[in-house]
Amino acid sequence: MTNWIDELKKAVEADFDYIKEIRRDLHRHPELAREEFRTQQRIEEELDKLGIPHWRSAETGVVARLSGSRPVPVAWEKEQKPRCLILRADIDALPVQEMHETEYKSEVPGKMHACGHDAHTAALIGTARMLSRRRDLFAGDVYLMWQPGEEIGYGAAVMIEEGQLAFGTRCFGLHMASDIPVGSVVLMPGPNNASVDWFRISVEGVGAHVSTPQKGVDAAYIAAQILIGLQALVSRMSSPMDNLLIGVGKICAGTAYNIVADHAELEGTVRSLDPELRKLTRERMERLASETAEIYGGTAKIEWADYTSVLVNSEGPTAEAQKIATELFGPEKVITFRRPALGGDDMAEFINRVPGCYAYIGSSNPDIPETEVAHHNSSFDIDEKALSVSVLLTSAYALSYMSAEKGEEEGKPAYLYRPDACPCPRGGEVNCPRYRNCSACIRYHRGKETNCFTACERKAMEKSAR
């Protein structure tokens, strides 16, 4: 393994300036969730240069497939499913006005890459470049997925619904971390990030003059009582050892200073590292809002949006990643435990379907103050050396997991392991969530792995080309 790792390190270093410029281009042109049209086109241009087949997903996302040139080892036939690796990067920016003065400052007013998704996007392009030149080192298929809409909990669910993960046996992704020094990586099994639920509580009252409150029902007062009660759900009805947060960031009520408010709204989020506690908290909030409003003569209802589940790194894939990271960077640079965060990431939905690992890549440097600020800050930046760390780790993990060492007993070509059925979870012509009239959901192959696509994949490529 050492020989190809040494060669890969040199290749990643040689490609650094190219990937850095892609990242800076993306940083200059940030796009919000579900608006990543230029970003999508930029990714596709890079894939076209490499001759990698690709198609669009979740409106503004991109999926590509790289097939290794080695026959699948016979040993893989004993596994439940032919090995298939999914590599994922999120691509959307944030509605933040960039304050950091730099040569690659955002050129779009009110929008910036304040969470590092420009780096994630560029790093996965860099990984595609590394793997496309090393097809002779692996067997099977590697799917590369540039996911839109992470910041609003959108893209992962749609990609899953479309069946993009249907073949996967492992998934891997990464995120910049401004609290970790550049050169180090965090690979921690178990819970890493909290679930994220959005909620809006709507309170209905009855308007009246403030001088006669008894003739009305004060929605503002009811909302205030609900707000106080929400915090009691955390401090008095949950263990201090539980990782639970209920945050209300927006309150609206009333129309004038001298009118009893007939309507009020509270908007916020619930974060938890325990799926059962998450469910219980929802039930308690429903009861709290309804019964508090009833006491004072009003009504209340809660709207919910499930942004993402708890992100729980699988034990096996994380151990695999730790092993390869230790060989790449040394044990002192591999962090295997840190306190889980209450920030969410819908990579969790990928891992819920396919065993996987989400790595955190150190991106801070004390000599560059902007790299140490919090994510989502208007001055956020990264030490761009983190790009090389990201490309190297992802590429090496892919080659390690999908490797077919010379001397192993060879089996059939990779394409013969792809299922005959359409990968869409619903399958069939009418129910295919990608294409309503998806006929002939069968394997396409012409004797070469690179020409083997399911009908849905081929149609997706044709649609993207149009």
Q: Would residue 254 be called left, alpha or beta, if left means φ above 0 and alpha means ψ between -120 and 50 degrees?
A: left
- Hunting for tokens 């790792």 — which residue is that? 5
Regarding whether 125 and 6 lie in a shared domain, the answer is yes
Each residue's pLDDT tens digit, 39-78: 999 999 999 999 999 999 999 999 999 999 998 887 787 7
Q: Please, what's the largest Cα pairwise distance for the chain?
A: 89
Phi-psi region of 102 (alpha: psi -120 to 50; beta: other; left: phi over 0): beta
d(CA 103, CA 447): 49
Q: Check whether residue 234 and residue 369 sit in a common domain.
A: no
Query: Based on the domain organization, do 31 and 154 belong to the same domain?
Result: yes
Same domain flag for 186 and 318:
yes
Residues 36 and 61 in one domain: yes
300/317 same-domain check: no
Q: Which residues pair with 175 in a beta bridge?
A: 360
The CA distance from 147 to 63, in Å, is: 8
Give the separation between CA 155 and CA 151, rounded to whole angstroms. Answer: 9
pLDDT digits (tens, 9 = 90+) for 317-352: 999 999 999 999 999 999 999 999 999 999 999 999
Q: Are residues 137 and 127 in the same domain?
A: yes
**84 and 176 within one domain:** yes
The pLDDT, as a whole number, for residue 453 is 61
What is the domain extent for residue 147?
Answer: 2-192+310-414
Please report the pLDDT score of residue 17 as a whole number. Answer: 98
Whether residue 393 contacts residue 320, with contact meaning beta carbons closer than 8 Å, is answered with: no
Residue at 278: amino acid letter: R
Q: Which of 394, 414, 434 is the last residue of a domain?
A: 414
Q: Which residue has the tokens 């097809």?
A: 135
8 and 132 both lie in a single domain: yes
The CATH number assigned to the domain holding 37 equals 3.40.630.10
Can you give the pLDDT at residue 359? 98
Please, are residues 163 and 101 in contact by the beta-carbon 8 Å criterion? Answer: no
| Amino acid type, 26 | L
| Distance between CA atoms of residues 382 and 365, nearest Å | 8
Both tokens of 426, joined, read: 């619903």
60: tokens are: 């503004």
Digit-coded pLDDT (tens) for 144-178: 999 999 999 999 999 999 999 999 999 999 999 99
- Cα separation, 233 vs 216, in Å, equals 28
Residue 335 CA to residue 322 CA, distance in Å, equals 9
Q: Are residues 180 and 206 in the same domain?
A: no
124/185 Cα distance (integer angstroms): 17
Of 257, 283, 308, the last residue of a domain is 308
Per the document, the length of the chain is 466
Which amino acid is present at 120?
H
Kindly report, residue by residue over 18-38, the tens digit of the pLDDT.
999 999 999 999 999 999 999
Q: What is the CATH number of the domain that holds 227?
A: 3.30.70.360
Total domains present in the chain: 3
Asked if residue 389 lies in contact with residue 329, where contact means CB atoms within 8 angstroms, the answer is: yes
Give the rounded distance of the alpha carbon of 101 from its chain centre. Answer: 28
| pLDDT of 414 over the 70 cut | no
Confidence class of residue 248 from pLDDT cuts 50, 70 and 90? very high
- Statement to judge: residues 374 and 409 lie in one domain: yes
**Residue 79 pLDDT grade (very low, low, confident, very high; cuts 50, 70, 90):** confident
Same domain? 48 vs 155: yes
CA distances from 396 to 51, 328, 406 (A): 21, 8, 17
